[in-house]
Amino acid sequence: MNKVDVYYFSGTGNSLVLAKLVAERLGGDLIPIASVIDREKIEPAADVTGIVFPVYYADTPNIVRRFAEKLETTEGKYIFAISNYGGGAGDSLKTLDGILRSRGEALSAGFGVHMPQNAFHKPWEMKSLAYRQATKRIDFIVRAVEARRTGLFYSNVLVQTMMSPFQGWIRRMTALYLEKASNTPAPSGLSVEQLMPLCGASFAADEKCTGCGICVRVCPVHNIEIVDKKPVWQNRCENCLACFNWCPTNAIHGALANTGYRYHHPDVTVRDIGGQSDIPA
Ligand SMILES: Cc1cc2nc3c(=O)[nH]c(=O)nc-3n(C[C@H](O)[C@H](O)[C@H](O)COP(=O)(O)O)c2cc1C
Ligand code: SF4
Ligand code: SF4
C-alpha cells in the first residue's frame, strides 16, 4: 500500500480541517509545514505527498514557497496540492508548480476548494454551506488522488478564467497596500513576498490585552514575543491573521486586519493551531 504524507499550513483552521479530512480518507499522516520548515531539506518518506494551504493575495503563502523550495521527493512520486480561498485560487497552484519544476519536480495535481473568507466580512457568505460543499469537494479530490489524476482542478473555472487577466494588476495593488501596512516608504520596489514579513509591524495590542500569550502560542512562525506582559511583533510575519483572530479579548489591531470581522473554523482550537510549530520528535 502507498504511504501518504499530507503537509498543511493554516492560520484560522480552514486548511487544517481540509488537510485532516483528506489525510483520514487517504490513510495518510498529517504534518504541519511550520514544524519542518527550519530543516535544511524536507524529504517525505511517502509515495504520495499532499500540500494544503490558504491563498494569500491571489498567490501562494511565503512559508509554502519556502517549503516547496526544500522539498526533495524522488522522480515519479505523486505530489498534489489543495489551495483554499474565500474567492479564488489566483496563481497559487501555478506558482507552487513553478517552484517544484524549477527543482526538477512538478505538481501532479492541484485542486481549488472554496472556504469561508478569514480576512474580511462577506455579508452574503453562507459558512455552513461552504463547509458542506468543501466536504463534497474533498470526496472528489480523494477519488482523483486515488486514481492519480493529473492537472489543475479549480472549484470555479469561470471565476478563475475571468480573474486571470487581472492577476498582474491585483499584485501591483497588493504591493501598494502592503507598503502602507508595513510603513515602508513608497515606491519601495519590493515585491509582495518581500513586504509581507514586514507587516507584523502594523500589529499592536490595546488596553484589552490581558497578557495571556495566546497570540504567541498560535503564531506558526514565532513572530510574537511578550515584553512587559504585552505582545511585540517581529519581522517574519506570514500574514496568516492567527494572532488577530484567536485573541480572546479582541485586543489586536493593525493595518492588515482593521475591520471588526473575526473568524476561525468552529471545529479548530487554539491548541490545534498552536501545535503547528511543534517540532516532531
Ligand atoms: C493575508 C490574507 C490574504 C488573503 N488573500 C486571499 C485572496 O487573494 N483570495 C482569496 O480568495 N482569499 C484570500 N484570503 C482568504 C483565505 O485564503 C481563506 O479564508 C482561507 O480559507 C484561510 O485558510 P486558513 O483558515 O487555513 O488560514 C486571504 C487571507 C489572508 C489572511
Ligand atoms: S492573545 Fe490578546 S489578550 Fe492574549 S496576550 Fe495576545 S493580544 Fe493580549
Ligand atoms: S504575527 Fe500574527 S499574522 Fe503574523 S504570522 Fe504570526 S500569527 Fe500570523
pLDDT of residue 249: 97
Q: Please compute the mean of the pLDDT values over residues 64-71 and round it to a whole number.
A: 97
Ligand 1 midpoint to CA 74 (Å): 31
DSSP one-letter code for 44: -
The pTM for the full model equals: 0.97
Q: Please tell me the total number of residues recorded for the chain in this structure.
A: 281
- Name the helix (H) or strand (E) containing 65: helix 62-70
pLDDT at 100: 95
Which atom of ligand 3 has the smallest separation from the CA of 244? 2
- Percent of the chain residues past pLDDT 70, beyond the cut: 99
pLDDT classification of 259: cutoffs 50, 70, 90: confident
Burial of 124 (0-12, 13-18, 19+ CB in 10 A): exposed
CA pair distance 248, 210, nearest whole angstrom? 9
Over range 234-253, report the average pLDDT: 96
Provide, rounded to the nearest whole percent, the portion of the chain with pLDDT above 90.
86
Lowest pLDDT segment from 1-5, 82-86, 88-92:
1-5
Q: Give the confidence band of 1 by pLDDT, cuts at 50, 70, 90.
A: low
Report yes or no: 240 and 197 within 8 Å, Cβ to Cβ.
no
Q: Contact 112/80 with Cβ under 8 angstroms?
A: no
Taking the C-alpha atoms of residue 277 and residue 85, their distance in angstroms, rounded to an integer, is 22
Distance between CA atoms of residues 59 and 3, nearest Å: 29
Distance 227 CA to ligand 2 centre (A): 12
pLDDT at site 75: 73
Task: Tell me: pLDDT of 74 over 80.
Answer: no
Tell me the three cell numbers of residue 242.
492567527
Instruction: Report, as an integer, the average pLDDT of 43-52.
Output: 93
pLDDT-derived band at 24 (thresholds 50, 70, 90) equals very high
Confidence label for 45 from pLDDT (cuts 50, 70 and 90): confident
Q: What is the mean pLDDT of the chain?
A: 94
Distance from the alpha carbon of residue 157 to the mean position of ligand 3, in angstroms: 31
Q: What backbone phi and psi angles, to 5 degrees, belong to 78? A: -90, 125
213 CA: nearest ligand 2 atom: 5
Q: What average pLDDT does this structure show over 214-237?
A: 95
Residue 45: strand, helix, or coil? coil
Cell matching residue 150: 493529473
> Is pLDDT at 73 greater than 80 in this prediction?
no
Q: What per-residue confidence (pLDDT) applies to 281?
A: 59
Query: Are 130 and 116 contacting, i.e. CB atoms less than 8 angstroms apart?
Result: yes
Residue 18 has pLDDT above 70, yes or no: yes
CA distance 211 to 227: 9
For cell 520596489, name the residue. Answer: 189
Q: Is 110 left (phi over 0), alpha (psi -120 to 50) or beta?
A: beta
Backbone angles phi, psi at 226, to 5 degrees: -95, 120
The predicted model gives 135-140 an average pLDDT of 98
Higher pLDDT, 74 or 120: 120
> How far apart are the C-alpha atoms of 86 and 88, rounded to whole Å?
6
Q: Is 243 in the pocket of ligand 3 (CB under 6 A)?
A: yes
Q: Would the pLDDT of 279 be above 80?
A: no
Cis bond before residue 280 (omega within 30° of 0): no
Of 84, 85, 195, the one to substitute when testing ligand 1's pocket (max ligand atoms within 8 A of C-beta) is 85
What is the spatial distance between Cα 120 and Cα 78, in angstroms, rounded to a whole number? 35
3-state secondary structure of 42: strand
